[in-house]
Structure 1
Amino acid sequence: MIFGKDKTNYQAFDTVLRMIHVKILLASPNFHQPRGNTVTVQRIADSLAKLTIDTEIISTTEKEWTSLPEADLVHGFHAYHFYKFMQSLDKKPEPYIVTITGTDLNHDLFDENKREDVFASLRGAAAIHVFDDKAKSVITNELPDVEDKVFTIAQGNSDFPEEIPPVEKEENSFLFVLPAGIRKIKNVPAAIQMMENLHEKFPTVRLWLVGPIIEEEEGKTVQELVRQHDWIQYLGQVPHSTMGSIYQRADVVINTSHSEGQPSALIEAMGYGIPVLVSNNPGNQSIVTHQKTGFVYSSPNEFLDYSEQIINNNEIKQKIGQQAKQYIIEHHSNTYEANAFVTIYKNIMK
């Protein structure tokens, strides 16, 4: 079943769903670090609260656990980390649902040292949540016996308060924003190199990098590159609530990752009508349709070509941005997302 794409999927929801009084334990890796999983889990918790569902969030990687807080159902995020977390418990949660995020789908599933743990995590789950149908195909191709319990629920969008950004956009500049934790998989040095070539041709171009340093060596590399260019600013870690003010000042939001799950930052930026320029990987493509809701590049030359199109043609910039915004409204409602989870929770707990 697909949730989050068609409003008719929700016509069966009624007030009974909203009156379920249960507690869901959301278990996420690295929850206290500002990563994509953290944004996703907090958004789901906030949306469930609006449906009178109690939640508690715990981090599965930042302390030792032997027992869990009381809850009616445990919802784990990241199949591999959640499985390793369960091994530390005196009693494994039963039942549980697991969400496939990104690294577990694109890397751990095919890592000979982690693959069997991912399989065990999925086989033990009462339901498996993926963000898009391509992810579902990957899972069912690798593990056909779990096909009947895999559900596709598209990510919802975040709501942001009105806040002042940490820095202001320079007057008469054209601003690219890259929201990403600094680690190798995010490919930030390559982004800077491509932006260097773009800046040579368009000196008004500016780049903001937004996100914490997650891998120390990669952080040193990125910071050294930033020091070499006065048109690049590394804003570092900012509160997630501030991101709305950053998107509002961006002309383009970029994603240069080698692989992704379904990046919440792109959903957020597109929700503001900002055109996005993203690397060609399945996670990005689950949101961005080339030249319709954004631009998808496969080489540095394509990155430069599409950047020039956006810079030189305001009509294209506005059209792509508005189509992106409409797509997010129609396919990534956090209300639909929460209702879909409630339906799955209810079915598991019958």
Structure 2
Amino acid sequence: MKILFLAPLSPKTGNHTTAERIRSHIEAAGHTCELRDAADFQTPAQVTNLVSRNPPFDAALAIHLYKAGRFLLDMAAPFGVIFGGTDINEDMKVEQKRVVMEQVLLKARFAVAFTDKLKEEAELFLLSQSSKIYVQPQGIQTEAAEQFCWTEFLKSSGVSSQRGDELRVFLLVCGLRRVKDPLYLVEVFSEWHCEDPLNVLVIIGPKIDPALTVEVEAVTQRTAGVFLAQERSQQELHAAVKRCFAVVNSSVSEGMSAAILEAMDLGVPVLARDIPGNAAVVQHEFTGLLYSTPQEFVHQSQRLLSDQALRERVVRNGKLYVEEHHSLKQERETYQQLVDSLL
């Protein structure tokens, strides 16, 4: 079967990584899967023309009901959709987008939500299509680069590496866009750093929003204890995660943060902002720590510093959680079965 796969594909984002992984699952089952960036299309007619070319596509798949799914509405071929966090957390609030998302969900053969919470929200705010919404958490597989120099990483990020082994590096992994709120902790973290210079915050991720990138660059240059690192390959990023003290999430909204799950899989504690998408995967004091304000972030970080038993518990349970609930094998089987249903 020849399948068109539409998704928002900004480089080195969670969507891109997820789409590539799902494509590999589909192709492993013997299908041909062509991944295209939804941003390359302006109208459903363009996708309809693409699908009907010889040889035509037999079916389609899309990540994000609004950003990508809307382009499949005029297509005769069957399709399935995968919810993105933005669908439920942001696009649902805009009536015009919500109506389009309902149309996409009605026409889709199936829809996939990463968590039970996302499925519940979809059922609550969209026309009830409960029977066609499946829950399949993201499959996680981490691989750290073998050739990685932590000291060089710190130096290139602007961090003085003279006491590199003593530093407690909090790594905020996120694309630079508003929904990730990368500056949320900066002021309070800097105050904490001034009290204890061994605590530093390094922000790392692709520069997606140009205006926000300029702002983040300016703020980090003038703020003590907070640094902006150049984005790295996934293997290098995983190597950096393994060396850091904790991975931080400060997003306003999340579907399912791969950075959080990857940190858990790599045996690193997670400090995540207490929002529904994060609370769905981080159980406070069991698989990680949640915070609701910058001040609470510092408090939870201090607990992680002083309570070794707490640190060991969240690391152990976080890794077990990923192994039990985010199996790559289970994800592969689910998508292969769902794609077969498009025949």
| TM-score, scaled relative to structure 1 | 0.86
Q: Corresponding residue for 1:117?
A: 100
- Letter paired with 1:57: L
Deviation at 1:307, TM superposition (A): 0.5
Q: Which residue of 2 aligns with 1:26?
A: 5
Residue 301 of structure 1: CA displacement? 2.3
Please name the residue that 1:45 is paired with.
23
Give matches, 1:100-249, under 5 Å: 100-165=83-148, 167-169=152-154, 170-229=164-223, 231-249=225-243
1:76 to 62, 70, 75: 62
Check if 1:92 corresponds to 2:70: no
Deviation at 1:300, TM superposition (A): 2.0
1:58 corresponds to: 36
Structure 1 counterpart SS, 2:140: coil
Kept after mapping to 2: 8 A contact 1:28/1:60: yes
What's the Cα RMSD here?
Answer: 2.0
Give the conservation status (yes or no) of the 8 Å contact 1:74–1:93: no
* Alpha-carbon distance in structure 2 between the residues aligned to 1:263 and 1:93: 34
Matched letter for residue 187 of structure 1: D
The aligned amino acid for 1:94 is A
Q: 2: CA distance between counterparts of 1:245 and 1:53? A: 33
User: What is the one-letter code of the residue matched to 1:291?
Assistant: E
Relative to 1, partners in 2 of residues 1:71 and 1:44: Cα closer, same or farther, differing over 3 Å? same
Cα deviations by residue, 1:249-269 (Å, 9 ceiling, x for unpaired): 111001000100001111111
The alpha-carbon distance between structure 1 residues 86 and 47, as it changes in their structure 2 partners (threshold 3 A), is closer
Matched, 1:287 2:281: yes
The answer to whether the 8 Å contact 2:142/2:265 transfers is no
C-alpha distance in 2 between matches for 1:159 and 1:24: 27
Q: Deviations over 1:123-158 (max 9, x none)?
A: 111101100111111111122431110100011103
Contact conserved, 2:169 with 2:201, CA < 8 A, in 1?
A: yes
Q: Are the aligned partners of 1:189 and 1:221 in contact in 2 as well (CA < 8 Å)?
A: no
CA offset at residue 109 of structure 1?
1.3
Question: How much has 1:310 moved relative to structure 2?
Answer: 0.9
Contact 2:102/2:127 (CA < 8 Å) preserved in 1? no
Q: 1:53 to 1:130 in 2, by over 3 A?
A: same
Distance 1:93 1:282 in 2: 36
Give the 3 Å change call, closer, same or farther, for CA 218–32 of structure 1 in structure 2. closer
Provide structure 2 residue ranges, at least 5 long, that are not aligned to the other structure: 155-163
- Deviation per CA, 1:19-38, whole angstroms, max 9, x where unpaired? xxx44332111x14221101
Please give the alpha-carbon distance, in whole angstroms, between the structure 2 residues aligned to 1:306 and 1:40: 30
Query: Which deviates the most, 141-150 or 120-129?
Result: 141-150
Confirm whether residue 330 of structure 1 aligns to residue 313 of structure 2.
no
CA drift of 1:165 comes to: 4.3
| 1:112 CA drift (Å) | 2.0
Please give the TM-score of this superposition, normalised by the length of structure 2: 0.88
* Equivalent-residue separation in structure 1 for 2:27 and 2:201 (angstroms): 37
Whole-Å separation in 1 of the counterparts to 2:295 and 2:88:
29
8 Å contact 1:128–1:150 — kept in the other structure? yes
State how far apart, in whole Å, the 1-side matches of 2:126 and 2:70 are: 19
Q: Is the 8 A contact 1:39 1:264 kept in 2?
A: no
Q: How far is the alpha carbon of 1:84 from its aligned partner?
A: 3.9
Q: Tell me if the contact between 1:275 and 1:320 (Cα under 8 Å) persists in the aligned partners.
A: yes
Q: Deviations over 1:182-235 (max 9, x none)?
A: 111111111212321331332101222111222222112111111013533312
Tell me by how many angstroms 1:343 deviates: 1.5
- For structure 1, the residue ranges without an aligned partner over 5 or more in a row are 1-21
**Per-residue deviation, 1:50:** 4.2
Q: Deviations over 1:41-86 (max 9, x none)?
A: 1122234444444432111103564413744321100110114433
* 1:276-318 C-alpha deviation (Å, 9 max, x unpaired): 0011111111211010000111122221110101122233212
CA contact (8 A) 2:190 2:225 kept: no
8 A Cα contact 2:142 2:266, kept in partner = no
CA distance in 1, matches of 2:312, 2:76: 49
| % identical equivalent positions | 25
State the alpha-carbon separation in 2 of the partners of residues 161 and 72 from structure 1: 37
